[in-house]
A = this chain, B = another copy of it.
Amino acid sequence: MTVFGRNEEAGQAVSNAFISKLQAFEALREDDLEWLMSMIGRVKVVGADQDLIRQGDNPEAVHVILEGFAARYKLTSRGRRQIFGYLIPGDFCDLHVALLKTMDHSIATLSRCRVATLSPETIIEITDRRPALSRALWMTCLVDEATLREWLLNLGQRSAKERIAHLFCELHVRMKAVDLTTDGYFELPLTQQELSDTMGLSVVHVNRSLKELRDAGLVSMSNEQIAIPNVERLKQFSGFDPTYLHLRAVNSL
């Protein structure tokens, strides 16, 4: 682990999560990958609960999460918070900004994170001269959109317990895709307050629902870790269907 703000050689230091991520969509040529790696600028370490970008900002670089968890969110005029999605290793934070001048939401770390940056020029170069990479990036954007639809359905049509279970299924599949699970276990540094801001439920109700999920033997949680003893059962329970994540070889995951 490195000190805040220290630069590192991209080559070794960069976790391969974001490569696996891109490859999960489309086979990239070796030279595209190498080029992308070489374009990574500063790699910084950011503590938990820090905003990476804030609503209204004119962002100057595209961030990629290499390690840790982050979340997109927005505050309402009534002082409530809604989380729109979780960012796990390999995820691009703010591709849109190449086009949209200002952020319409914020992104904050949920745990200590290692974050890489790509310059806007790199993005321009991708769109102008790296069609395969370009498609891969657009693809991640479409998957974000599909995920938002699934979350909307989750809030609109499912009960509290089903919602939470569905989120856990999604995170499990995504973590597995970047090889960050062992059996049903994976790191999940979420507070119940954060879950509540995600699910549109009160903290108290999240707490009670989690208890019921635990009592039913569907999940178990301890110190920033979650265990899903029987993934198939949890999927069944929550009505989870991974198609929307558009991962290759989802079945083999």
Chain A residues at the B interface, C-beta cutoff of 8 Å: 72, 74, 76-78, 80-82, 84, 96, 99-100, 104-105, 128, 131, 135, 138-139, 141-142, 144-146, 148-149, 151-153, 155-158, 197-200, 239, 241, 243-244, 246
Instruction: List residues of chain B with CB within 8 A of the CB of A149.
Output: 72, 74, 84, 104-105, 148
Bound together, the chains give a CA A244 to CA B155 distance in angstroms of: 20
Instruction: List residues of chain B with CB within 8 A of the CB of A104.
Output: 146, 149, 243-244, 246
Instruction: List residues of chain B with CB within 8 A of the CB of A138.
Output: 99, 138
Q: Are B144 and A145 in contact (CB under 8 A)?
A: yes
| From B77, B135, B156, B246, contact of A239 by CB (8 A) | B77
Instruction: List residues of chain B with CB within 8 A of the CB of A135.
Output: 99
Q: Are A76 and B148 in contact (CB under 8 A)?
A: no
Q: Are B152 and A246 in contact (CB under 8 A)?
A: no
Residue among A78, A128, A152, A156 having the largest count of chain B Cβ atoms under 10 Å: A156
| From B80, B82, B244, contact of A152 by CB (8 A) | B82
| From B151, B152, B200, contact of A157 by CB (8 A) | B200
Instruction: List residues of chain B with CB within 8 A of the CB of A155.
Output: 152, 155-156, 200
Question: Known pairs A99-B139, A100-B246, A105-B149. 20 more at Cβ < 8 A?
Answer: A72-B149, A74-B149, A74-B153, A76-B158, A76-B239, A77-B239, A78-B239, A82-B153, A84-B149, A84-B152, A99-B142, A128-B131, A141-B142, A144-B145, A145-B145, A148-B148, A148-B149, A148-B152, A152-B152, A156-B197
Bound together, the chains give a CA A244 to CA B72 distance in angstroms of: 14
Identify the closest chain B residue to A148 (Cβ): B148
Residue pairs across A and B with Cβ atoms less than 8 A apart, 27 shown, are: A72-B149, A74-B149, A76-B157, A78-B239, A82-B152, A82-B153, A84-B149, A84-B152, A96-B145, A99-B139, A100-B139, A100-B142, A104-B146, A104-B149, A104-B243, A104-B244, A105-B146, A138-B138, A141-B141, A141-B145, A145-B145, A145-B148, A148-B148, A151-B152, A152-B152, A155-B156, A156-B199
